[in-house]
Chains A and B, each alone.
Chain A
Amino acid sequence: MNLRSIPFSAWIGIAGIAIAIFCALFAPMIAPFGERDVVGDVWLPPGGDFLLGTDNLGRDLLSRLIYGARTTIFVALAATVLSFSLGMLLSFTAAVVGGFTDQLFSRFNDLMMAIPTLIFALVVLAVLPQHLWILILVMAVLDSTRVFRIGRAVALDVAVMEFVEAARLRGEGSLWIIFREILPNTLSPLLAEFGLRFAFSILFLSTLSFLGLGIQPPAADWGGMVKDNKDGIIFGISAALVPGAAIATLAICVNLVVDWLMKRTSSLKGGRGDA
Chain B
Amino acid sequence: MMESGPLTGPVPTDGSADGTHPRPAELSGVPAKPNPGTANPSNGDIDGTFWRRFTFRRPLVALILQRLGLSVGLLFAVSLMISGGIEALPGDFATTYLGQSATPQAVENIRKDLGLDKPWSERYLSWLGGAVQGDFGTSWASKNSVGEQISKRLGNSLFLAFFAALVSVPLAVGLGMLAVQFRNRLPDKIINVVSLAAISLPEFFVGYLLIMFFAVQYGVATFPATVYDSMTLTERLSAIALPVATLVLVVLAHMMRMTRAAILNVMSSAYVETAELKGLSMFRIIARHAAPNAVAPVINVIALNLAYLVVGVVVVEVVFVYPGMGQYMVDAVTVRDMPVVQACGLIFAAFYIFLNMAADILAIIANPRLRHPR
Contact = CB atoms under 8 A, between A and B. Distances in A.
| In-complex A–B contact (CB below 8 Å) | yes
Interface stretch (A24-32, A52-60, A73-81, A229-237): A229-237
B225 interface: no
A155 B41 CA distance: 22
A141 B297 CA distance: 30
A124 B83 CA distance: 11
B315 A252 contact: no
Interface stretch (B227-235, B284-292, B342-350): B342-350
B82 interface: yes
Interface in A85-135: 103, 110-111, 114-120, 122-129
A226 B217 CA distance: 19
Which of A119, A207, A230 has the most chain B CB atoms closer than 10 A to its own CB?
A: A119
A196 to B, nearest CB: 10
A235 B75 CA distance: 45
A146 to B, nearest CB: 13
Given A116-B352, A119-B348, A126-B336, A206 B308 contact: no
A233 B332 CA distance: 25
A144 interface: no
B176 to A, nearest CB: 13
B127 interface: no
B202 A248 contact: yes
A259 interface: yes
Interface in B29-48: 38, 41
Contacts of B342: 123
Interface string B280-305: 00000000000000000000000011
Contacts, number: 162
Contacts of A211: 314-315, 318, 330, 333
Contact of B86 (A123, A247, A274): A123
A114 B341 contact: no
B159 interface: no
Interface string B180-217: 00000000000001001101111111001101100111
Nearest to B81: A111
A222 B104 CA distance: 40
Contacts of A251: 200-202
Contact of A115 (B38, B209, B352): B352
B310 interface: yes
A203 B216 CA distance: 26
A252 B196 contact: yes
A16 to B, nearest CB: 11
Contacts of B78: 111, 114-115
A247 B353 CA distance: 30
Interface residues of A, number: 52
Contacts of B216: 233-236
A124 B208 contact: no
B311 interface: yes
B254 interface: yes
B333 A119 contact: no
Interface of B is mostly: helix
B77 A111 contact: yes
Which of B75, B91, B314, B333 has the most chain A CB atoms closer than 10 A to its own CB?
A: B333
Contact of A226 (B208, B215, B353): B208
A9 B77 CA distance: 44
B204 A255 contact: no
B212 A123 contact: no
Contacts of A129: 90-91
B212 A238 contact: yes
Interface in B339-374: 341-342, 344-345, 348-349, 352-353, 356
Contacts of B208: 226, 230, 233, 240-241, 244
B67 interface: no
B336 A252 contact: no
A160 to B, nearest CB: 15
A118 B311 contact: yes
A248 B208 CA distance: 13
Contacts of A226: 204-205, 208
B248 interface: no
A44 to B, nearest CB: 18
Nearest to A115: B349
A245 B333 contact: no
A124 B349 contact: no
Contact of A272 (B193, B203, B212, B254): B254
B315 A210 contact: yes
A178 interface: no
Interface string A38-73: 000000000000000000000000000000000000
B334 A212 contact: yes
A200 to B, nearest CB: 10
Contact of A207 (B93, B202, B209, B223): B202
Contacts of B329: 119, 122
B85 interface: yes
22 contacts: A103-B41, A114-B75, A115-B352, A119-B345, A122-B329, A122-B333, A123-B82, A123-B86, A123-B342, A127-B89, A127-B93, A203-B202, A207-B315, A226-B208, A235-B216, A241-B209, A251-B200, A251-B201, A254-B200, A255-B196, A255-B199, A271-B261
Given A123-B345, A251-B201, 4 more contacts: A111-B74, A126-B332, A126-B336, A207-B203
Interface of B: 38, 41, 74-75, 77-78, 81-82, 85-86, 89-91, 93, 193, 196-197, 199-205, 208-209, 211-212, 215-217, 223, 254, 257-258, 261, 304-305, 307-308, 310-311, 314-315, 318-319, 329-330, 332-334, 336, 338, 341-342, 344-345, 348-349, 352-353, 356
